[in-house]
Structure 1
């Protein structure tokens, strides 16, 4: 059996300094400096600007360790560096053993002849990524586009060097993130010793999976130092398979066919259990002097996943949807970015909090976006556990990259390392080459793209495009084809298809491929365009908001609470962000009464926008089969497109997403003089129910009620009712009414939806009296709220940290609403908890009313 130990006792210093300080590994220079009190909180105020010196100098880490007698007796001793960030020379007992230049690779080295009895010294020298790459820029002679590289903030002027480093792109800044170009040991350092045989890798290759039969091949990589026979046994649950092979010294690739009858399948959330099998592989090699054993376990779910792109009856283009175990799945979710600028600060609990929040909001997919990192195994384990499908980008985003042979080989090994590490995760349903580069460069359309190519000669354009194609059209798909062929590769997001002409590039008017729609936000198009710009799969769209007051106060003082203050600007990385929020607020909202009200209204504005988009996408099933908004989370406290802020606090958007992504959705859309009412369902069987329509005025009076029998469709969207708006209102003013639509199923299920006929800005609300009744106080906070008039966007603010089962909801007179306070304690589900004191507010208190409205109130 092999022996393993982690080397986790380290010291660090700047290379130019003499004094060593304690370091935390995994970690990075910035977090180590902070823990030693050498720098101030990087996220506070404008401290980011004062810490740009850190990436300009070299740093080193050292550790000493003793390998046990059992270790030293083994034949082979290896050091595995699971993550070195980024340019690093590693010395063992003063001998250079590794020259690393890729944050995403695993660096392994045989140290059998270098390891000593007693104390061993390990030293890692990290060269400044800035000083390392500036000469590459000078040698190249021109600047490769890198739109989000905040080189000016980093003191480099226009010299953007992020594209040369195989390092997390967001470390160099993004339009939601700070610029902290880190160095350090960001994943574990492991010493492994073994003799005879060692199982390196077990891959359960899923050839053909149905509910009747799973046809698999266990592909096992085994290293040997011996000549002789090995018996390989694979077991899972109550099944086992055996294989015998003849060994020679070296690496062996062994294949073991497996058939499982009536397998328990892995399903995405909402469709069934996310069942996983644990496979145990054991190799036993008998020798004259005894036997050698090696054991490895992998956990995987059995499922068939296909990306379906074919001409269909829904339009002139081709479909784009995921078929899981033969079932077309509407993908509901968001784009995931790294949870911290300093990724080693993200604990398993923080990962679970995010994935659990996705599950709680009825999501079934997260897109791991290409400007961050290949996440650690725990993230994918959690997605496997909760049935969250993963769209996995390779780590390239919004930039053009070099195409020299060394860069290509570095990228190839990075891809191999990460595909092999992650391919057993059933949650991964797509590998995508990059984020937005095809559409940004737009090689085949002179008038499209972001204007990048216009800075280059025709000859240089061809070279840069050829370099692009080498990575994204050749190298990466070849790696997937060889190592994970059961999952599709998609070259870039967005893209229409690889046509080799101007039809290739994604745009908001295409009817195939995936779509990023940013007309709302960047182009100041109205929210209503979300109902017009509808693609086959909406892989990005979004709208910004500010985090809540408590989060703002984590980085800003009271006298800085103005969106034009230096600190608030430093925590708004999108140059036009504050202006755009204010501009849209002026279009859709009444004026806020205070800074706190501005924060509240920004969240409501964002949530309203995303609600309109999500529901338009879902109503358009099966033409549109995916809705992933930008973005799920934050890497620091900031104004951004996120639905959950850096501290894990749910914004209004996340509560809205929970409702809009519900398995059964009622949604209404106005078109000309008609109101169309849709029933949208992800469930695989239809059901019967009654659809109730109740018209209230904002004073709380029920004007009229109608009902009809209705069918909830199976895994589709159905227009259930079209009503003349004029007949529905029958003389009532649009500014003074709300239509409450309620589905009541035969099984008693209730789904409610409110439709307003005007923007919030024009809605004439009355001052509500909200009654709060608390129940079950000893188990946790459960409250029932009721109002005498229509109370819009009721927000509950708890003294303690946690989330509500519902928040930012509307109260309708005569329809009490019960909610539960929940907290996350690290377990698999939320727990009911005590909220402490509760503040209840509604939109009425947060906006400026006309003098007439105030008089009425």
Structure 2
């Protein structure tokens, strides 16, 4: 047996060359100090023997402000008005937030031709880098996004005890946070993010996020360093998500660097799905080459599809450089096999997106950044992108006032099927689209921002290389609502993207006519505030709207996380009932609240903040369900897509969010989830017609359309029941029910249930509307009797709870129930939790089951389930364990 195992081991070693590569992060044990308190220069400071008495434990990756916060030197800037208590860099001067960051680490000197590399993936804004008394960058590094790599082989300490020291300087200029979008605009003179000087959804970040904000890694290789591999997948023809596939074609390139003083010969190879291609290479001493491999044919590939259209198949693959049988260096690349195309839709006058030959109706959300202070984690990225998947969206646009998103963001988008429209670092507000009295410099000057065009171009090229292999990356965009200056635009359009990518749609700016031809004037996006429900259905807006949004305040449990108790007061409604004006507490203003205007009052004026939070959720659900239903109802007729402004907040803002900063979803998420279903039955409130939308590539047959009405007491009135079918990728009108709605809902309003059932009577789409009375009031809701809803909960897996809600046949509708998983000791919600549905209504005689996914913690006792509804008293139910 031992001999047999030895033979197998030797065979395995022969088949798989020995790998030399190692990587590890320097993400703990850092220390920091203000430059004003450091007398030594970088050469002395980076000597391991130099004492660091009195230095602060530092957060890296992080910023000066996250280090100060961790050391309790500043209050939490996301709570209340604490941000006003933190000195702003515009007033303190840049030296106040200029800091040294120091890290001691062990790494033995390299032997033979081994090489050791230091990588800094992001420093904001300028820095000098020292190791063991030696300066690594001969010229000051500039730019928030430009990655840095240093061969530190000759600088490693003989005893293996090394010290890295980095002095980080803030952006210059830092911008005056005068209340404008991007403050006075001058933050855009640098190649950095712009929102840090303040926007209409955030207050200024006081240090402008100065620091080593992204990962620092050590990499060890043999002679050759393999960098920036590029895998392009081509999927000819029109494909289906299921069944056998014709082959896909893969083109692979990689950069090879030989830092040694002698020529090195070897083999570059790429492996995926049991297929391998190779190319012999000879690299001269101290040289770098881009090497192309022969085209690889992948038979019967498992394709990657956007969410709602098919599975997100991903292949592990590997690029290696071998010298003999030894791997000098290798890179793992996870690949989604897909091809993106675009074509002009003459009917809508907008571009439409095709994936693997099939047209995709874009249902998207605008994304700012995961955390305004750049506190990124894999878990948070995964949770946020999962929420977008759960909303039944298929695209995220990364807004141009922030950054090229991190590889970890794209990994989550690959996993959950989110296409990405990625903006470069421009915004119409700072970069001169409009005359703006809040800006320091005139429009013509701002049109030439940033100051260093070459730095922008170099940074763009580097960031393209960083994220180009992700299947989810679908579109590049020159900037938010504005094109970059002409030379930058030319470089992006004619050089960088064709050479370094070449497979994605490039949009010159986010509301460009090349994306969506604007025949109506304006900017080609918006509106951004609350709207009548009917407007989403009946008013034709921009055919591929890059920004359209509404309100998004969370409930009371969300508000109390970041508002002091004294400020938990509801808005006051002034003026006539037909058009009231909201007046809100100054703390709400500080957290950038936008109003619900007259749309909340039909439910009754809010009695307190808790009552306001509940009624706001009814409005939230209706707004976002109607938004996506309205766009979907005119699919390929008026629209090829829409992108909501916006689906998340990286700060404790009171607008445009489907979940709050703390990852607690509100009703926006579930209204949008409902309205964005791939196969969806819906009620058009304008013409009282029941419609069906089918986003799939298949005919949907043998479906029973069932429409029922319910009064406030729970009495059911069957409206219709009919067999229907619907062709792929279309919306279709079926039944007008105007007469019944008018008749049943005139006095107190009514409930409307519309369902699609399959042949087993299982609901494949279910929708539930609450309709006002003839005066537009929800008079019936105000006087509803209580429903005796019962709840059972059981643990179905280590991280999953199944909750069943049951309403007796003789009861009224159990309306709008909010489920939560809570800590039994504090009764605070466990976050994040992912619900298959929420804010659910249960009909008389009906049971509904909702699954809750969460990450168990040893720090929290066994959770209990909470439910509370419009006419359902709050219950706490223990979770039964099977």
Q: State if a TM-score over 0.5 links the two structures.
A: yes
Map Cα deviations across residues 149-195 of structure 1 (whole Å, 9 max, x no partner): 24xxxxxxxx4421112222222222222311121111222344544
Instruction: Please say if 1:842 is aligned against 2:863.
Output: no
Worse-matched range after superposition: 784-793 or 689-698: 784-793
| 2:668 counterpart of 1:632 | no
User: Structure 1 residues 146, 196: CA separation in 2 closer, same or farther (over 3 Å shift)?
Assistant: farther
What are the equivalent positions in structure 2 for 1:494-643 lying under 5 Å apart? 494-497=511-514, 506=518, 515-518=524-527, 521=529, 526-531=532-537, 532-562=539-569, 569-570=586-587, 572=589, 577-578=593-594, 580-586=595-601, 588-623=602-637, 624-643=639-658
Matches within 5 A, 1:286-301: 286=324, 293-301=328-336
Aligned to 1:445: none
Structure 1 residue 789: Cα displacement: 2.2
Aligned partner of 1:447 in structure 2 is: none
2:387 corresponds to: 357
For residue 806 of structure 2, give the secondary structure of its aligned residue in structure 1.
strand
Conservation of the 8 A alpha-carbon contact between 2:698 and 2:728: yes
Is residue 744–residue 750 contact of structure 2 (8 Å, CA) maintained in 1? Answer: no
Q: Identify if the C-alpha distance between structure 1 residues 310 and 691 changes in structure 2 by more than 3 Å, giving closer, same or farther.
A: closer
Partner of 1:654: 669
Tell me the equivalent position of 1:742: 755
- Deviation per residue, 1:73-92 (Å, 9 max, x gap): 54654432111011222233
Contact 2:787 2:813 in 1 (8 A): no
C-alpha distance in structure 1 between counterparts of 2:37 and 2:457, whole Å: 37
CA displacement 1:445-497 (0-9 Å, x = unmatched): xxxxxxxxxxxxxxxxxxxxxx6333335535531111111111011111212
Q: Which residue of 2 aligns with 1:11?
A: 31
State the shift of 1:795 in Å: 2.9
Distance (Å, rounded) in 2 between the aligned partners of 1:64 and 1:708? 70
Q: Shift of residue 274 of structure 1?
A: 1.3
Match of 1:431 in 2: 476
CA apart distance, 1:126: 2.2
Q: Is the 8 A contact 2:30 2:104 kept in 1?
A: no
* Post-superposition CA distance 1:514-554 (Å, at most 9, x none): 94221x51xx7534322213332232211123222223222
Matching residue within 156, 174, 192 for 2:199? 174
> Taking structure 1 as reference, are residues 273 and 816 closer, same or farther at Cα in structure 2, changes over 3 Å only?
closer
Is 1:49 aligned to residue 84 of structure 2? yes
CA–CA distance in structure 2, aligned partners of residues 734 and 556 of structure 1: 39
The 5-angstrom pairing of residues 665-814 of structure 1 reads 665-671=680-686, 674-686=687-699, 687-723=701-737, 725-726=738-739, 729-730=742-743, 733=746, 735-750=748-763, 751-758=765-772, 761-765=777-781, 766-777=783-794, 779=796, 780=801, 782-786=803-807, 788-800=811-823, 801=830, 802-814=833-845
What SS is found at the alignment partner of 1:416? helix
- Cα shift at 1:429: 0.8
Scaled by the length of structure 2, what TM-score is found? 0.81
Contact 1:334–1:632 (8 Å) recurs in 2: yes
1:90 corresponds to which of 125, 129, 137: 129
1: CA distance, partners of 2:585 / 2:558: 12
Distance 1:229 1:805, change over 3 A: closer
1:22 alignment counterpart:
57
**How has the CA–CA distance of structure 1 residues 282 and 752 changed in structure 2, closer, same or farther, with 3 Å as cutoff?**
closer
Task: Name the CA shift for 1:248/1:51 in 2 (closer, same or farther; >3 Å).
Answer: same
For 2:547 and 2:561, locate their aligned partners in 1 and report how far apart those are by CA, in whole Å. 29
Could you say if the C-alpha distance between residues 190 and 254 of structure 1 is closer, same or farther in structure 2, counting changes exceeding 3 Å?
same
Q: Aligned-pair distance for 1:414?
A: 1.3
Q: Residues 176 and 67 (structure 1 numbering): CA distance in 2 closer, same or farther, change over 3 Å?
A: same
* Match 1:275 to one of 310, 313, 319: 313
CA distance in structure 1 between the partners assigned to 2:105 and 2:807 by the alignment: 67
Structure 2 counterpart SS, 1:63: strand
Matches within 5 A, 1:29-428: 29-53=64-88, 56=93, 57-65=96-104, 68-71=107-110, 73-74=112-113, 76-92=115-131, 93=133, 95=135, 97=137, 98-118=139-159, 119-129=161-171, 132-133=172-173, 147-150=180-183, 159-180=184-205, 181-209=208-236, 211-224=245-258, 225=260, 226-249=262-285, 250-256=287-293, 257-286=295-324, 293-311=328-346, 314-315=347-348, 317=349, 319-343=350-374, 345-397=375-427, 398-400=429-431, 401=446, 403=448, 407-428=452-473
Contact 2:713 2:784 in 1 (8 A): no
Deviations 1:667-702 (A, max 9, x none): 12144xx42211111222122212122233222222
How many residues align structurally?
A: 770
CA distance in 2, matches of 1:605, 1:272: 32
* Secondary structure of 1:356's aligned partner: helix
More helix by share: 1
What is the CA–CA distance in structure 2 between the aligned matches of 1:96 and 1:583, rounded to whole Å? 61
- CA distance 1:825–1:529, shift in 2 (3 Å): same
1:786-815 CA-partner distances (Å, limit 9, x unpaired): 262245433335534235432223343344
Relative to structure 1, the CA distance from residue 525 to residue 365 in structure 2 (aligned partners, 3 Å threshold; closer, same or farther) is: closer
Over residues 256-280 of structure 1, what are the superposed CA-to-partner deviations in whole Å (9 max), with x where a residue is unaligned?
1212222221112222221122222
Q: CA deviation at 1:652?
A: 0.4
Give distance in 2, aligned partners of 1:820 and 1:404.
50
Counterparts of 2:320 and 2:873 in 1: how far apart (Å)? 66
How far apart, CA to CA, are the structure 2 residues paired with 1:804 and 1:333? 20
Deviation track 1:275-305 (CA, whole Å, cap 9, x = no partner) reads 122222222235xxx9672222211111111
Change (3 A) 1:625 1:678: same
Q: Distance in 2 between matches of 1:365 and 1:712?
A: 24
| Unmatched tracts of structure 2, length 5 or more | 1-19, 39-53, 238-244, 432-445, 573-582, 824-829, 875-882
Counterparts in 2 of 1:471 and 1:571: CA distance versus 1, 3 Å:
farther
Cα distance 1:517–1:825, how it changes in 2: closer, same or farther (>3 A)? farther
Q: Does the 8 Å contact 1:739/1:754 carry over to 2?
A: yes
Deviations 1:633-690 (A, max 9, x none): 221223121001111111001111121111211112144xx42211111222122212
1:814-829 equivalences under 5 Å are 814-825=845-856
Paired residue secondary structure (1:84) = coil
Tell whether the 8 Å contact from 2:35 to 2:100 is kept in structure 1 after alignment. Answer: no
68-77 or 419-428, which moves further after superposition?
A: 68-77
User: How far is 1:383 from its partner?
Assistant: 1.1
Instruction: Please give the alpha-carbon distance, in whole angstroms, between the structure 2 residues aligned to 1:505 and 1:147.
Output: 29
Q: Which secondary structure state, in structure 2, belongs to the residue aligned with residue 16 of structure 1?
A: helix
Is the CA contact 1:196–1:292 (under 8 Å) kept in the aligned structure 2? no
* Bigger mean CA offset, 20-29 vs 476-485: 476-485
Answer whether contact 2:229 2:253 (CA < 8 A) is retained: yes
Q: In 1, Cα distance between the equivalents of 2:485 and 2:289?
A: 34
The whole-number CA distance in structure 1 between the counterparts of 2:457 and 2:668 is 39
